[in-house]
Each structure stands twice: as structure tokens, then as C-alpha cells.
Amino acid sequence: MAYDERLADRIRAALPDRADVTERKMFGGIAYMVGGNMACGIMADALMARIGADATAAALEEPHTRPAEMGERTMKGYVLVDPAGITDDESLQRWVDRCVAFAESLPSK
């Protein structure tokens, strides 16, 4: 599965400029790691936001979000944000900031 290269560029621009931010091909898309922990990624044209299990239910009440599913399995702690939910840089930045904050709350790998 291909991923949206334009969205990848937008996420790169939204991520903090520091040495522990890396990219990894994953899930047929691309994942962005912070301190060795996945923060966010792209599945097709949607942002895969890792926000943690405690924040998932509230995030799914927000517009343009849906559960992140891998095959038949729902990924706990992740939501997908459809393109309509990240049309401008400010909305994408808010999601990326949430993802980075969650990744930073985890022990570094």
C-alpha cells in the first residue's frame, strides 16, 4: 500500500527538529518515531495518530477520526485522522503535537 508523500512532507515539517526523531517504513506506510517510540504515521492518505488508550475514546468523538484497524484488528491507543481532519497546517500540527507528547511519555528505547 502506498502512502501520501505530500502528507509525509507535511508531518516532517510539523515534527520537532531533534536527533531522536526518525522515520521507519511500517504497516505498508511510514512511521515517525520519537525516542524510539512510534508517535504517528501514515496509512494510505490518513494520519495514524498514536495517542494512547486513555485518549482514544475522546479522540474518536472528534470530526474526521475513526478507529485504526490493521486487517480485522483494532489497534489500541491509535486513531486514524482522515484528510478532511488535517486540511491545514494548524490542524495537522495539533495532532502531531499530541502524538509527540504521548511518545515522550513512554520510556525511550
CATH value at residue 69? 3.30.1460.30
* Mean pLDDT on 28-51: 95
Instruction: Give the pLDDT confidence of 25-38 residue by residue, as tens digits.
Output: 987 889 999 999 99
More reliable by pLDDT, 2 or 44? 44
On whether the CB atoms of residues 35 and 10 are closer than 8 A, the answer is no
Position 1 scores a pLDDT of 56
Residues spanned by the domain of 98: 5-104
This prediction has a pTM of 0.94
- Work out the angle at residue 39's Cα, subtended by the Cα atoms of residues 75 and 97, and round it to the nearest 5 degrees: 120
Q: Cα separation of 61 and 76, whole Å? A: 16
What domain count does the chain have? 1
Position 10 scores a pLDDT of 98
